[in-house]
Amino acid sequence: MNSTHAENAAQFLADEPRANWHDETLWIVRQKRDKAAANIPEWERLRQQASAIKDEVLANLDVYLEQFEAAAIKNGATVFWAADAAEFNQIMLNIIRRHKAKNIVKSKSMLTEECGLNRFLQSQGVEVVDTDLGERIIQFRHEAPSHIVLPAIHLKRQEIGETFHEKLGTEAGNSDPTYLTRAARKHLREKFLAAEIAITGVNFAVAETGSVVVCTNEGNADMGVQSAPVQIHCMGLEKILPRQTDLGVFTRLLARNATGQAVTSYTSHYMQPKPEGAMYIVIVDNGRSARLANPKYIQSLKCIRCGGCMNTCPVYRRSGGHSYGYVIPGPIGSILAPHTHHYPDLPFASSLCGSCSNVCPVKIEIHEQLYHWRQDLMQHRQTSWLKRMAMKATGIALSGNRRYNTLGAVARWAVAHLPRKLLYLPVNTWGVGRELPQAPQQSFKAWYKTNNPSKKQTS
């Protein structure tokens, strides 16, 4: 997508009733989260603890990764390391070819989205069926997820009914959720039963045990892994937790913060291959170690992909996940995206209200990170020339009393005297839906000079 977030958002907002529905739907999720969090009196301490564990992991990642690898191998798994998306995709293709597999199912994994795995495998003649219901819906529609936990949240059930009618032969015009879910279940059951390889994402990888933990609400990761002889777990290298006992901190936070559930319906621990089966774990870097080496932005690697920042973000709710153009939308996506080359407008797609930082279960200061990215993008000339010049000029104007006073006088004069047509030219984007402030008789400074109330002071 080449258009900017602002342009995409304007398009999203053109259908206001739909935008309102999107906002309301996600606000309900936020409210559920508030309720679930409030049921844990030690919630804020839990966040602090999770944040500290993640800090410890990032500070010793090399050690924990090797510990994890050794334990996983001892358990009977095969571990691969991928430096980037291309290597990851190739490793996946090689495994699939080695097992001569035709029927492949995959549960939700943002990492595979990030690496474009489906697209790559398709180009090699390999079809992968996404088994998360939301993912399957958008796969049918050839769309990207608009949310990392609720990938089809941008769709209304009527649209899903139409898609299922076309792809699964459900009754035309029937969008009853139970009816549609049953149709999906029947369709996916066939896929599970035929599966030769099951691919999953990884929520947590425990260094001391070598096990991977996958959290789902639909049990689709288990359905795949239990029926296919071969299982592949794909993880970003930051998914490590040191100890089994750390898990409880995160499983308590994850579902509550994501959807307001006390715990995900399924929390599955995979440790070793099935008899006659094979278990692969693919650990992916794809820019993470570079981020790890950058102390200013390292904290974005603490993210556990709960999506809480999206649900609370007033901008996300009113612009939709697709408006960001990056695989992970919303506040966290805007600090995870590789800005220096792409997506230079994303750090500006925020009012810096800070709600994201307050809900973040691992206490990433998301809005402060956005603020810092803005500085870097400006310094690296990734913003428009016009904007940079305007900022330079404003900087000069605001740093001196006389220049500043002149600026104020001109602004007041313009608002008071310029014809409306001129004041509200399209270049004045303030005027899109707002009136400019009315010009007072004089500035506070001028009032103070003439009235100088310090003379009347009691002191």
Partner 1 sequence: MKQYRIGLFIPCYIDMFYPQVGIATLELLQKLGQEVVYPDKQTCCGQPLANSGAEKEAIATYKHFVAQFRGFDYIVTPSGSCAYHVRHHFDILEQTDDVRQVRENTFELCEFLTDILQVEDLKIKFPHRVGLHQSCHGLRGLKLASASELIEQRYSKLRRLLEKAEGIELIELDRPDECCGFGGTFSIFEPDVSVKMGRDRIADHERHHAEYITSYDMSCLMHMEGIIRRQGKAIKVIHVAEILNRNSL
Region 9-38 residues binding partner 1, contact defined as CB under 8 A: 9-10, 13, 16, 19, 23, 27, 34, 37-38
- Residue numbers 401-430 binding partner 1 by CB under 8 A: 401, 404, 408, 411-412, 429-430
Q: Give one DSSP letter per residue of 326-373, joined into a string.
A: SSS-HHHHHHHS-TTTS-TTGGGS-----HHHHH-TT---HHHHHHHH
What one-letter code names the amino acid at 333? Answer: G
CA distance 230 to 234: 13
Applying CB under 8 A, the site for partner 1 has a residue count of 79
Per CB under 8 A, 256 contacts partner 1:
no
Per CB under 8 A, 271 contacts partner 1:
no
Per CB under 8 A, 273 contacts partner 1:
no
- State the minimum distance, in angstroms, from the CB of residue 107 to partner 1: 30
Q: Which is nearer to partner 1, 91 or 309 (CB)?
A: 309
Which of these segments, 1-9, 113-121, 157-165, 225-233, binds partner 1 (CB under 8 A)? 1-9
CA distance 313 to 303: 16
Torsion angle of alpha carbons 394, 400, 401, 406, nearest 10°? Answer: -40
- Residue numbers 233-252 binding partner 1 by CB under 8 A: none
Q: Give one DSSP letter per residue of 99-114, joined into a string.
A: TT---EEE---HHHHH
- Cβ atoms of 357 and 366 within 8 Å: the answer is yes
- State the minimum distance, in angstroms, from the CB of residue 5 to partner 1: 7
Q: Which is nearer to partner 1, 86 or 390 (CB)?
A: 390
In 3D space, the residue among 233, 270, 267 whose CA is nearest the CA of residue 250 turns out to be 267
Per CB under 8 A, 58 contacts partner 1:
no
CA distance 106 to 85: 17
CA distance 193 to 108: 18
Q: Is 305 exposed, middle or buried (0-12, 13-18, 19+ CB in 10 A)?
A: buried
The strand pairing partners of 281, in sequence order, are 79, 233
Per CB under 8 A, 450 contacts partner 1:
no
- Residue numbers 426-445 binding partner 1 by CB under 8 A: 429-430, 432-440, 442-445
Q: Which is nearer to partner 1, 10 or 263 (CB)?
A: 10
The strand pairing partners of 82, in sequence order, are 284
Binding residue for partner 1, selected from 18, 25, 32, 43, defined by CB under 8 A: 43
Q: Which is nearer to partner 1, 67 or 382 (CB)?
A: 382
| H helix intervals, 5-42 | 5-14, 16-38
Per CB under 8 A, 186 contacts partner 1:
no
Which of these segments, 55-63, 190-198, 213-221, 449-457, binds partner 1 (CB under 8 A)? 449-457
Which of these segments, 67-75, 82-90, 197-205, 371-379, binds partner 1 (CB under 8 A)? 371-379
Per CB under 8 A, 41 contacts partner 1:
yes
SS3 197: strand
Q: Which is nearer to partner 1, 5 or 136 (CB)?
A: 5
Binding residue for partner 1, selected from 355, 362, 363, 369, defined by CB under 8 A: 355
Q: Which is nearer to partner 1, 219 or 314 (CB)?
A: 314
Q: Give one DSSP letter per residue of 377-393, joined into a string.
A: HHHTT-S-HHHHHHHHH
- State the minimum distance, in angstroms, from the CB of residue 399 to partner 1: 4
- Residue numbers 115-154 binding partner 1 by CB under 8 A: none
CA distance 103 to 192: 9
Per CB under 8 A, 342 contacts partner 1:
no
- Residue numbers 373-402 binding partner 1 by CB under 8 A: 374-379, 383, 387-388, 391-392, 394-396, 398-401
- State the minimum distance, in angstroms, from the CB of residue 119 to partner 1: 30
Binding residue for partner 1, selected from 116, 273, 277, 314, defined by CB under 8 A: 314
In 3D space, the residue among 219, 238, 218 whose CA is nearest the CA of residue 301 turns out to be 238
